[in-house]
Chain A
């Protein structure tokens, strides 16, 4: 095996566990790496075999009933040992807490990621899930307005930052509204734009990382996303519209935040 990616990174990609930037990066790598293409093909084939084979074994019906019965008698027997079980429970809590800490630390210190690339810690799966979730009835916007002067103040006091909000109606991306969302356990602002009959979610949250250009788009399950950082904010735009459309919207957002243009707006 010669390719560094075909080990762990490829599997994280297959499982939708790469952040948006790395997933897109890996896709570009796939275009030129035959080894990774073959390995990914084999891994995907294995996955669909596992799913087709229906290996999941459900509990026998009797087990559930028996458990209910035992839980009731467990109650009667456990009163005497109540103290003991409380101690065990606390011990478990401590174990769980330290585990969480370890996992948390490990998440940022995973050695398989190349350290020079900044970690955005939001995975492509999370972004696409959030996008799909938003498309369910009544979930798209908390504040529905095409007026940026209504949408922007709405975020004030709801988040610890105020996202840049602009309407791009003239450029073919009318502002539809905004809402609060959660990505990777952080609160983010979601701005919703229209593009013909489709919706684009632009997720925004603060970052301490330096600016990064609009990253080549990633794609999964028919959704595309682009990622960039600008002036202390991190952005991820996701939609089923074409990748060039997304890149255009990203450019518009960046331009509107540069001083000369924002005076006009």
Chain B
């Protein structure tokens, strides 16, 4: 058959691609999963979405021109997460992003340290943040990305990364030191 030869050519090309993909991109699966887990606040959903994102990344892989594979992958992961949230939990994306900054957290470092020592409480506080604040905290504090990488991943200028981080940290501090019911009413 004449098509068999052509098919084999593709196979060779694509298995080379796959090897490169497995070498460059697959090692960042943990980063992909961790970001999905915190954006979606669920391990089960994160498994599905991280998998979908990696398969998408593989389809786009020829467009990857070298460089920072982690940032490249995380950008796709983030987009896939947002698409998923739009479809399944649209309300979460509508949370107001611009919120009053002038309400400074009055918490002392000591009070923060005590509240922050409880992993559950810290995780809950993180999950109460709007997704756009949550993502910069995850990328900076858990993933250790630079501002430049974060800017590329979430597609905003570096100045916006800086101010988003400033606000996110303030909100997280407040969420940590405020009683739960107050935080709930604040979210309204």
Contacts and interface: CB of A to CB of B under 8 A. Distances in A.
Given A66-B51, A106-B159, A55 B123 contact: yes
B93 interface: no
A46 B62 contact: no
B123 A42 contact: no
Nearest to A92: B63
Contacts of B151: 103, 106
Contacts of A117: none
Interface in B151-174: 151-152, 155, 157-160, 162-163, 165-166, 169, 172-173
Contact of B141 (A39, A50, A110): A50
A221 interface: no
Contacts of B18: 71-72, 75
Interface in A49-63: 49-60, 63
Chain A facing B: main interface SS: helix
A8 B136 CA distance: 14
Contacts of A96: 63, 65, 72
Residue of B18, B26, B43, B162 with highest tally of chain A CB at under 10 A: B162
B37 A57 contact: yes
A245 to B, nearest CB: 30
Nearest to B143: A56
Contacts of B105: 42
B22 interface: yes
Interface in B107-148: 107-109, 112-113, 115-117, 119, 122-123, 126, 137, 140-142, 146-148
Contacts of B107: 42
Nearest to A100: B152
Residue of A10, A51, A56 with highest tally of chain B CB at under 10 A: A56
A153 to B, nearest CB: 34
B116 A55 contact: no
Contacts, number: 182
Contacts of A50: 116, 122, 137, 141-142
Contacts of B10: 79, 82
Interface residues of B, number: 69
A59 B50 contact: yes
Interface stretch (B28-36, B84-92, B178-186): B28-36
A103 B158 contact: yes
A67 B62 contact: no
A93 interface: yes
Interface in B65-115: 65, 72, 101-102, 104-105, 107-109, 112-113, 115
A63 B162 CA distance: 34
B152 A99 contact: yes
Nearest to B145: A15
A107 interface: yes
B127 to A, nearest CB: 10
Contacts of B162: 8, 11-12, 17, 110, 112
B160 to A, nearest CB: 8
B7 A79 contact: yes
Given A42-B105, A63-B51, A103-B152, A15 B29 contact: no
A159 interface: no
Contacts of A85: 59-60, 62
A246 B80 CA distance: 50
B55 A70 contact: yes
Given A7-B166, A41-B109, A78-B14, A57 B43 contact: yes
18 contacts: A1-B104, A11-B162, A11-B165, A11-B169, A48-B116, A50-B142, A53-B116, A55-B119, A56-B30, A59-B29, A63-B47, A66-B51, A75-B15, A89-B60, A100-B152, A106-B157, A107-B157, A109-B159
Given A52-B116, A58-B34, 7 more contacts: A8-B165, A45-B109, A49-B117, A67-B51, A86-B62, A105-B157, A109-B159
5 closest residue pairs by CB, A with B: A49-B116, A106-B157, A89-B63, A59-B33, A110-B159
